[in-house]
Amino acid sequence: MADLLGRRVRLVPVGPAEQEYVFQLERHPALITRWRGRGMVLSPSEAARTFWAGCAAAFVVVGVDSGPVGCVHLSNFEPVNGCIELSVLGDPRFEGAGLVVEGAGLAIDYAIDAWPLRKVYF
Protein backbone atom coordinates (compact mmCIF):
# COMPACT_ATOMS: atom_id res chain seq x y z
CA MET A 1 0.00 0.00 0.00
CA ALA A 2 1.18 3.51 -0.78
CA ASP A 3 2.82 5.46 2.00
CA LEU A 4 0.69 8.34 3.25
CA LEU A 5 3.80 10.30 4.22
CA GLY A 6 5.60 12.51 1.72
CA ARG A 7 8.63 14.75 1.99
CA ARG A 8 6.67 17.76 3.34
CA VAL A 9 3.14 16.46 3.99
CA ARG A 10 1.20 13.48 5.22
CA LEU A 11 -2.32 12.33 4.48
CA VAL A 12 -4.71 11.83 7.39
CA PRO A 13 -7.93 9.94 6.65
CA VAL A 14 -10.94 12.19 7.24
CA GLY A 15 -12.73 11.34 10.47
CA PRO A 16 -15.04 13.41 12.67
CA ALA A 17 -12.28 15.78 13.85
CA GLU A 18 -10.88 16.29 10.36
CA GLN A 19 -14.33 16.68 8.83
CA GLU A 20 -14.89 19.90 10.75
CA TYR A 21 -11.67 21.33 9.25
CA VAL A 22 -12.83 20.36 5.74
CA PHE A 23 -16.26 21.97 6.29
CA GLN A 24 -14.65 25.18 7.52
CA LEU A 25 -12.26 25.17 4.57
CA GLU A 26 -15.00 24.71 1.99
CA ARG A 27 -16.86 27.68 3.49
CA HIS A 28 -13.81 29.97 3.16
CA PRO A 29 -14.82 33.06 1.12
CA ALA A 30 -12.07 32.42 -1.45
CA LEU A 31 -13.15 28.78 -1.95
CA ILE A 32 -16.91 28.63 -1.46
CA THR A 33 -17.70 28.80 -5.20
CA ARG A 34 -14.98 26.28 -6.17
CA TRP A 35 -16.04 23.23 -4.19
CA ARG A 36 -18.98 20.82 -4.17
CA GLY A 37 -21.74 23.29 -3.21
CA ARG A 38 -20.65 25.86 -5.78
CA GLY A 39 -21.64 28.75 -3.53
CA MET A 40 -24.38 27.07 -1.51
CA VAL A 41 -23.93 27.08 2.25
CA LEU A 42 -25.13 23.64 3.31
CA SER A 43 -26.30 22.59 6.74
CA PRO A 44 -23.76 20.44 8.61
CA SER A 45 -25.80 17.27 8.03
CA GLU A 46 -26.27 18.02 4.31
CA ALA A 47 -22.60 18.92 3.94
CA ALA A 48 -21.61 15.59 5.52
CA ARG A 49 -24.06 13.67 3.32
CA THR A 50 -22.76 15.23 0.09
CA PHE A 51 -19.13 14.88 1.20
CA TRP A 52 -19.47 11.12 1.69
CA ALA A 53 -21.77 10.44 -1.29
CA GLY A 54 -19.68 8.49 -3.79
CA CYS A 55 -16.56 8.91 -1.68
CA ALA A 56 -13.91 6.21 -2.08
CA ALA A 57 -11.34 7.89 0.21
CA ALA A 58 -10.81 11.33 1.70
CA PHE A 59 -7.74 12.78 3.37
CA VAL A 60 -6.70 16.00 5.03
CA VAL A 61 -3.30 17.09 3.76
CA VAL A 62 -1.19 17.99 6.78
CA GLY A 63 2.07 19.87 6.40
CA VAL A 64 4.87 18.38 8.49
CA ASP A 65 5.71 21.87 9.77
CA SER A 66 2.43 23.73 9.25
CA GLY A 67 -0.61 21.65 10.24
CA PRO A 68 -3.60 21.14 7.88
CA VAL A 69 -3.15 22.72 4.45
CA GLY A 70 -6.02 21.21 2.45
CA CYS A 71 -8.07 18.19 1.50
CA VAL A 72 -7.97 15.53 -1.23
CA HIS A 73 -11.10 13.56 -2.08
CA LEU A 74 -11.27 10.42 -4.23
CA SER A 75 -14.77 9.69 -5.50
CA ASN A 76 -16.94 8.01 -8.11
CA PHE A 77 -14.73 4.95 -8.48
CA GLU A 78 -15.81 2.89 -11.49
CA PRO A 79 -14.30 -0.59 -11.18
CA VAL A 80 -15.45 -1.69 -14.66
CA ASN A 81 -13.73 1.24 -16.39
CA GLY A 82 -10.92 1.65 -13.84
CA CYS A 83 -11.64 5.35 -13.34
CA ILE A 84 -11.79 7.59 -10.28
CA GLU A 85 -12.12 11.33 -9.67
CA LEU A 86 -9.72 13.35 -7.56
CA SER A 87 -10.82 16.67 -6.07
CA VAL A 88 -8.34 18.95 -4.33
CA LEU A 89 -9.12 21.83 -1.99
CA GLY A 90 -6.22 23.93 -0.71
CA ASP A 91 -6.15 26.38 2.15
CA PRO A 92 -5.57 29.84 0.60
CA ARG A 93 -2.98 30.62 3.30
CA PHE A 94 -0.66 28.06 1.70
CA GLU A 95 -1.31 28.89 -1.95
CA GLY A 96 1.80 28.50 -4.06
CA ALA A 97 3.67 26.39 -1.50
CA GLY A 98 3.06 23.14 -3.40
CA LEU A 99 1.99 21.29 -0.25
CA VAL A 100 -1.49 20.37 -1.48
CA VAL A 101 -0.04 19.31 -4.84
CA GLU A 102 2.30 16.95 -2.99
CA GLY A 103 -0.71 15.62 -1.09
CA ALA A 104 -2.59 15.07 -4.36
CA GLY A 105 0.37 13.04 -5.62
CA LEU A 106 0.24 10.87 -2.49
CA ALA A 107 -3.52 10.40 -2.99
CA ILE A 108 -2.95 9.29 -6.59
CA ASP A 109 -0.30 6.80 -5.42
CA TYR A 110 -2.76 5.54 -2.79
CA ALA A 111 -5.54 5.12 -5.37
CA ILE A 112 -3.30 3.29 -7.84
CA ASP A 113 -2.20 0.88 -5.11
CA ALA A 114 -5.73 0.39 -3.72
CA TRP A 115 -7.72 -0.16 -6.94
CA PRO A 116 -7.15 -1.36 -10.51
CA LEU A 117 -7.11 2.07 -12.15
CA ARG A 118 -6.54 3.20 -15.72
CA LYS A 119 -7.48 6.88 -15.32
CA VAL A 120 -7.66 9.53 -12.64
CA TYR A 121 -9.90 12.46 -13.49
CA PHE A 122 -9.40 15.88 -11.89
> CATH number of the domain that 86 lies in?
3.40.630.30
> For 24-77, how does the pLDDT look when each residue is reduced to its tens digit (9 = 90+)?
887 777 776 666 656 566 677 777 787 788 899 999 999 999 899 999 999 999
User: In this structure, is residue 99 part of a structural domain?
Assistant: yes
pTM for this one?
0.88
| Sheet of 55-63, strand order | 9-13, 55-63, 67-78, 83-90, 119-121
User: In this structure, is residue 3 part of a structural domain?
Assistant: no
User: In this structure, is residue 47 part of a structural domain?
Assistant: yes
User: In this structure, is residue 104 part of a structural domain?
Assistant: yes
> 100 is in which domain, residue-wise?
9-121
